[in-house]
């Protein structure tokens, strides 16, 4: 027998120690949910703007996100972002310029700055867990405007689409901003996914593509002329 291998008892002991840590982590998770619910329930109806953290001021999408955030607040909505740099900063900046509610749901990452300067301190929450943070986005955002972004952006986009598709939340406006960026993905959804039967014909109706900040905000406002904005689900 190879003595370098751990005994069954040692392995079992490691699992038991790990189990104890997992149990205690539940209380940390609960604490994040409580803080998030307590803060965001008081904010009122908001639209989430998200996209790449790498987009710099002066980039056309950064500036369009600023203008879109401002327009949203002028229509009475607040703006929720991930609280970081790039498109998130731009959305919060637009809300701040428009004297609206500017919400930041931050996440502790080793390679990103902290909360951007345009988040209202009363509406700032930091999370350790991505999944708790995503629950807050989905529960308290009454629509999503998705600017060009990377894996994190796609993760948030497809989770939202999945929840609507499976009727776990009611339908809300989801807008992909920037046809030059999103066309390849949309074409693949319409051709490959639909043709293979992995989604239904109507699933592509769950989102809109636009290059116009005015159209993006109009889609949201038109939707809520017929429906009262409220949190998307309850436990």
Q: How many domains does the chain contain in total?
A: 1
* C-beta separation of 67 from 96 below 8 A: no
Q: Is residue 154 in a domain?
A: yes
Q: Which domain holds residue 161?
A: 45-181+208-225
Q: What is the DSSP string of 27-80?
A: HHHHHHHHHHHHHHTTT-SEEEEE--TTPPTTSHHHHHHHHHHHHHHHTT-EEE
Q: Is residue 165 in a domain?
A: yes
Quick check: helix, strand or coil at residue 90?
helix
> What six digits make up the tokens of 51?
């996209």
> What six digits make up the tokens of 24?
């205690």
The confidence band for 211, taking pLDDT boundaries of 50, 70 and 90, is very high
Q: What are phi and psi of 169, to 5 degrees?
A: -135, 160
pLDDT tens profile 69-127? 999 999 999 999 999 999 999 999 999 999 999 999 999 876 666 899 999 999 999 99
pLDDT score of 179: 97
Pairwise pLDDT comparison (27 vs 24), residue with the higher score: 27
The confidence band for 228, taking pLDDT boundaries of 50, 70 and 90, is confident
* C-beta separation of 84 from 113 below 8 A: yes
pLDDT score of 3: 47
pLDDT score of 5: 63
> What is the rounded distance in angstroms from the CA atom of residue 203 to the CA atom of residue 55?
29
Candidates 85, 43, 44, 51; CA nearest to 68 is 51
- Whole-model pTM? 0.88
The confidence band for 226, taking pLDDT boundaries of 50, 70 and 90, is confident
pLDDT score of 137: 93
Average pLDDT, the chain: 91
Enumerate residues 6+ apart whose C-beta is below 8 A from 16: none
Q: Is residue 85 in a domain?
A: yes
Q: Is residue 9 in a domain?
A: no
The confidence band for 231, taking pLDDT boundaries of 50, 70 and 90, is confident
Q: Is residue 40 in a domain?
A: no
Q: Is residue 155 in a domain?
A: yes
pLDDT tens profile 166-195? 999 999 999 999 999 999 999 999 999 999
Q: Is residue 31 in a domain?
A: no
pLDDT score of 227: 87
Q: Is residue 75 in a domain?
A: yes
Q: Which CATH number does the domain housing residue 90 bear? A: 3.40.50.450
The predicted model gives 8-32 an average pLDDT of: 75
């Amino acid at each position: 027998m190879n003595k370098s291998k751990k005994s069954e008892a040692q392995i079992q002991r490691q699992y038991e120690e790990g189990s104890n840590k997992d149990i205690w982590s539940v209380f940390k998770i609960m604490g994040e949910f409580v803080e998030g619910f307590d803060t965001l329930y008081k904010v009122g109806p908001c639209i989430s703007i998200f996209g790449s953290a790498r987009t710099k001021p002066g980039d056309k999408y950064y500036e369009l996100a600023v203008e879109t955030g401002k327009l949203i607040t002028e229509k009475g909505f607040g703006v929720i972002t991930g609280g970081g740099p790039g498109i998130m900063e731009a959305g919060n900046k637009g809300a701040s310029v428009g004297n609206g509610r500017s919400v930041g749901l931050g996440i502790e990452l080793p390679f990103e700055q902290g909360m951007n300067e345009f988040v209202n301190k009363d509406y700032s929450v930091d999370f350790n867990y991505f999944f708790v943070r995503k629950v807050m986005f989905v529960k308290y955002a009454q629509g999503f405007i998705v600017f060009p972004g990377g894996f994190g952006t796609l993760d948030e986009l497809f989770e939202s689409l999945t929840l609507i598709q499976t009727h776990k939340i009611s339908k809300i406006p989801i807008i992909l901003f920037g046809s030059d960026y999103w066309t390849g993905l949309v074409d693949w959804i319409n051709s490959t996914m639909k043709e293979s039967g992995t989604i239904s014909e109507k699933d592509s109706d769950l989102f809109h593509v636009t290059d116009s900040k005015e159209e993006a905000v109009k889609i949201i406002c038109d939707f809520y002329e017929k429906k009262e904005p409220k949190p998307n689900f309850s436990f």
